[in-house]
Every structure is written in C-alpha cells, then in structure tokens.
Structure 1
C-alpha cells in the first residue's frame, strides 16, 4: 500500500480539495469518479462550505460514480442524491458535467446505459476508457465500489456490472475492476476508527490476493494511493 497518513481528518480533506483545485486548472476537462457511502460526506460538505467552492473551476471537472444503490435519487441511500444535496446544489457546476448512475432504472439496462455513456465521453487507452482520477472507499469487509469479497470477477471485460450486496440483497450498479485499473490515478479513502481493522488486514495482505477487492484492485496505468486519517491508520502507527 502507498499510504499517506495525515495528522488529522481536516488535513486529509484539505489535501483532497487541493487535488480538485489543481485538476480544475488544467486546460482540458478531467473525469473524476466519486465514491459513495458515508466517507465522502465530510469531503462534500467541506468543498461546499470552504473557499474551494469558489476557487475550484467546476466547469473543467466532470463527475461520475463508482457505484450506486438501486434506489430513487430522493432516497437517503442514493450516492448521487447525497452528493447533489451536499455539494452540487451549492456550487456553480454545469449540469452536463454531472453523470449519475440512475438508481431508479432497471439495473441491467442502467449498467449498459452507463457503460455507453462512459465510452462516449471518456477517451480510451487500450480500448478501455481512462478516468483521470477514481476515488474509492473501502468497506469493513474489504469491498470497494460494489465489488464484494468472493463475488468479484476481476477479469470481467465489461465496464459496468450489477452487483448484490451480500447481507441485504440490495442491487447495485458498479464500475468494474478492469475499468478502475485503467485509471490514471486511484485514491482509496478510509476515515475513522471503524476502518482501522480492515486497513491493517489489507496492509498485510499478500500481493495479488483476491481476498479483499480493495487490496487487489489498483491502477495498472498510474498511481494508486491510500489517504488515511489517524483513526483508520490506528494499527499502522501504534
């Protein structure tokens, strides 16, 4: 693991915001895939309520999602709905720069539609669209996006897939391991003490092991890094 352990959660959030700012200053547009779940809530809130809301050139950034629960956007479980409420509704970003997965649609049809949208908007390298930056979370079971332990086909040639959350049976639409691995940059975010155990396990996992998808999936074209706060890195620094 290429770990960046920050002295505080706030310093981690500020580094992420600086990364957004730098990308927004490029001449060309940048395509960023966001993670869902609880981890990004602090990031979205910080971006919306800090000076970065005005200093970032949002016109240059296009946003996508690593996965989405198959629920309406009005649901509190909607990854896009959460981001829209906390960030997009509060900044000046063109509607065409936002590319949500439609959780209310038929999952199989939506996976196909999203794959087509990705292909039509993002330039390909070796026939696979290449994101500039994919931000991922990690579950306490080691899953990332909706790629779950024991249920992930790491050789799937599709860009998107329909997954089932093992405990709840909830359907989700997710990007594939292959699409993530083609990204220029992959950043895993882990915040809080409840992520300390899985971070410790991933740190000690044998390279290439498929036990934890978050341990196996990394960029094959560029940088893979882990942004950790004091809570999630607890067992690495004690």
Structure 2
C-alpha cells in the first residue's frame, strides 16, 4: 500500500487538490484501460468537488459512476446521495444514463438490494469467484465517530469479508454500503476529511494501536494507493 497524507489550508484547497488527483487518475485509467470507474461518497464535504468535476470538459462516455454507500431512501429523497450527486454534477453534463450505476433502494428488503448491487458490480467488471472487482477510485469521507462509507463502529457490516456490498446500520437507519475488503481492492482510495470535530477520530485512526471496530476507518488499507486529504482544521495537529 502506498499511503500519503496531505493537509491543505482550507476546504477550497482540499477540493482543488481532490479534483487534481481525480483528473490525473481519470486520464491514466482511460489511457491504460479505456474507461474510468469511480465510487462516490455522500455528505457535505464532497459536494463542491462534484460541482467542480461537473464544470470540466471530460470524455463522459468513458466515465462510470458508482456509490460506495447510500441511505435506504428513494432516489428522489432529500437524504439520497444519488440525488445530491445528480444535482451537483451528473444532471449538468452529457454522461450516458448507462454510465450511472446507482444503488437500488426500492427493494422491499435492503439485503436483497445489497445483493442486487453486488451482482451488478460483478457483471459490470466481469468478475467471478473470489476475486473482487477493482475500481479506479473510491472516494470516502469520515464521520467524527471514525465511520466511513456506512461502516459504523461495532456494527455487523464490519464483519462482512466475503461480499462486495452489505447492509449498514446507523441507529436503525438502514444503508447499503461497500464492505471494507471491497474498498481495499481499489487502485486508489481518497479520503476527504474536513472540520475540527474530526480531530479526535483522526488521532485514533492514525494511532499505532487502536481498535478497528471502534474506529472503522482504520480498516481501510487498500492494495493500491491510500490518500488522505485533510483541511487544516482536521489535520493540523495530526502526527502521521
């Protein structure tokens, strides 16, 4: 694993650096493999990044968009990560509908929806057996409890190692989420973390010893690159 940590002066610098990284990885992926695959995170921090991507002139037909997690709400619900991304980026560009791969959230049973998304991923990446598909970039945030995607402290989702997608749970609010072994199969994982309230969790995530199930972001150790992008409020006191 190739790990880097960058502390940027503020959120706008954080967004600018994330955009630079993503565009670089997009160019390399299309050059080498003819397409670029990215899984997105929700939350307020990446929204300006999605707006910035939407302002670029890119080969949209070669870009495929997935989500690393989603609240179990309809796609037009105000809490939907998909809805936020469509408004900030996808509805503003000429990306083919077939290149957008939302999490299904209208099944009667969330476990069924997780299985359906996993099957879609396997078919898209033409993966079989035990090997996990490899996304070019997985974008992650981190909560002040050190959760990432919908992998919350001391929840059953953290124990799932043999699947790509599972059901996440936060205070009985159901989610669909990538599993941490699937996240770890990515070529590049980029964390975007902003705000002074993240400092205590970051200290534990970067500590030499701490409990992975209490601080789930510690479980993210990809086979490829791991890049932590932090604003100064979050990362200025961090010992890396």
Task: With the length of structure 2 as denominator, give the TM-score of the two structures.
Answer: 0.87
> What corresponds to 2:181 in structure 1?
178
In structure 2, what is the Cα distance between the partners aligned to 1:194 and 1:103?
Answer: 30
Equivalent positions of 1:102-181 (< 5 A) are 102-106=104-108, 107-124=110-127, 127-151=131-155, 152-166=157-171, 169-181=172-184
* CA separation of 1:69 and 1:23: change in aligned 2, threshold 3 A: same
Deviation string 1:138-158 (CA, Å, 9 cap, x unpaired) is 111111111111114345201
Matched, 1:42 2:44: no
Matched, 1:201 2:204: yes
* More divergent stretch after superposition (188-197 vs 199-208): 199-208
> What corresponds to 1:99 in structure 2?
101
Q: Secondary structure at the match of 2:79?
A: coil
Unaligned runs of 5+ residues in structure 2 are none
> What corresponds to 2:90 in structure 1?
88
Contact 2:152 2:158 in 1 (8 A): no
Structure 1 position 200, deviation (Å): 2.3
* Number of aligned residue pairs: 230
Deviation string 1:13-48 (CA, Å, 9 cap, x unpaired) is 122222332334323112111111222112122333
Task: With the length of structure 1 as denominator, give the TM-score of the two structures.
Answer: 0.88
RMSD of aligned alpha carbons: 2.1
Matched, 1:21 2:23: yes
In structure 1, what is the Cα distance between the partners aligned to 2:49 and 2:105?
Answer: 22
Unaligned runs of 5+ residues in structure 1 are none
In structure 2, what is the Cα distance between the partners aligned to 1:23 and 1:177?
Answer: 21
> What corresponds to 2:192 in structure 1?
189
Matched, 1:73 2:106: no
